[in-house]
Chains A and B, each alone.
Chain A
């Protein structure tokens, strides 16, 4: 009996000390982690829509539109503003890729032109292949397009609205293109309101 109490006591003590250490570590790091996450969001939005000086979260306002099936993959809607006027939208879309959602941030100008695209997370894609859809060379192809149309091709693009897939990662590339298409459609609908 005494032995059981000793075993449990030691384990309890070690776990309690571990909990205490983790509390301290969490308290020390959480302000920086929180600030870093927030700053990264604003910075990422600014990268896909450089014309805007600030962003307002409009996800709640767009709730009714987002219930429609074509916008089911949309996660966040941000309105980009500059000098008191709307200059475009930053829209976070997560279509299904090869292994899971490819979380993509798309900047769409008020006129419907794609200003920039950024892959926020492609962690379920094949490392070294599908994850390369985050590279600038692939994403730069979307800039200036006005979808639809938007088609992913394997060879060099020949027509307007075509982008070349990352070699060996056609499915992941299509997910990004799908995100851009959805975002452009949503921006168009939001602009009409």
Chain B
């Protein structure tokens, strides 16, 4: 596992932050009511996670062990604030939708989790790859969850303003899917599906080997 490519790929599937590690569920529950919210939240997390992992890895010999957590938090909070300001200036429409959840990336456990578990003891290139992979894995999970919730909760799915199933709901929408319980239902179902698929894939490999 000393290869940056492997570090990148593991975050996407095997150690996917949401479905594999089950970390950082707060935004996963809160901002997955619609596809575009999920997508842009994912973009912000990829930005913060990659850069904070990189900087923490670069400074890992300089930061004393005793104060590493406050140091990590300061670094993460700085990138989050930059992302927040940049989003407000460049994409005000998206900024309005995400609102409070961009500043809340600071307390997302996946970010501090990767800093502590990986970046603080790994070389720069591997840490960047790990951050990018974990970020993209997180983003993929947000997109999957929000697509399911938007489809079932509103009866339609909009990609970039284009409604895929024609005007209006294509079937009577289940409002509960747009509400907080819908987030738990969706995450539970997708988590079960993910684990089952992963188990089946592993079982398949084992059988082929024997």
Residue of A nearest to B92 (CB): A36
Cβ contact within 8 Å between A29 and B86? yes
Whether the pair B71, A25 counts as a contact (CB closer than 8 A) is: no
Q: How big is chain B's contact interface, by range? A: 20 to 34
A15 touches B64 (CB 8 A): no
Q: What's the least CB distance linking A6 to chain B, in Å?
A: 6
Specify which chain A residues have a CB less than 8 angstroms from the CB of B81 in the assembled complex: 22, 25
Known contacts A33-B89, A126-B179, A128-B179, A11 near B71 by CB under 8 Å: yes
A129 near B100: Cβ-Cβ < 8 Å: no
Name the A residues within 8 Å of B106 (CB-CB): none
Closest beta carbon of chain A to B37's beta carbon, Å: 9
Known: A29-B85, A127-B33. A10 touches B64 (CB 8 A): yes
Contact A129 B67 (CB under 8 A): no
- What does the 1/0 interface line of B71-106 toward A look like (CB < 8 Å)? 100110110011001101110100000011000000
Give the residues in chain A near B90, CB-CB below 8 Å. 32
CA distance A168 to B172 in the complex (A): 14
Report whether A18 and B62 are in contact in the complex, using a CB–CB cutoff of 8 Å. Answer: no
Is A123 part of the contact surface with B, judged by Cβ < 8 Å? yes
Contact residues in A for B67 (Cβ distance below 8 Å): 7, 10-11
Beyond A10-B63, A29-B89, A33-B89, whether A18 also contacts B74 by CB under 8 A is: yes
Interface code B37-77, partner A: CB below 8 Å = 1, 0 otherwise? 00000000000000000000001001110110011001101
A21 touches B82 (CB 8 A): yes
A residues 164-184 in Cβ contact with B at 8 Å: 167-168
Complex Cα distance, B59 from A96, in Å, reads 48
Residues of A within 8 A of B33 (CB): 127-128
27 contacts between A and B (CB under 8 A): A7-B66, A10-B62, A10-B64, A10-B71, A11-B67, A14-B71, A15-B74, A18-B78, A21-B82, A29-B86, A29-B89, A32-B90, A33-B89, A36-B88, A36-B89, A36-B92, A40-B92, A123-B99, A126-B179, A127-B30, A127-B33, A127-B178, A127-B179, A128-B33, A128-B34, A128-B175, A167-B175
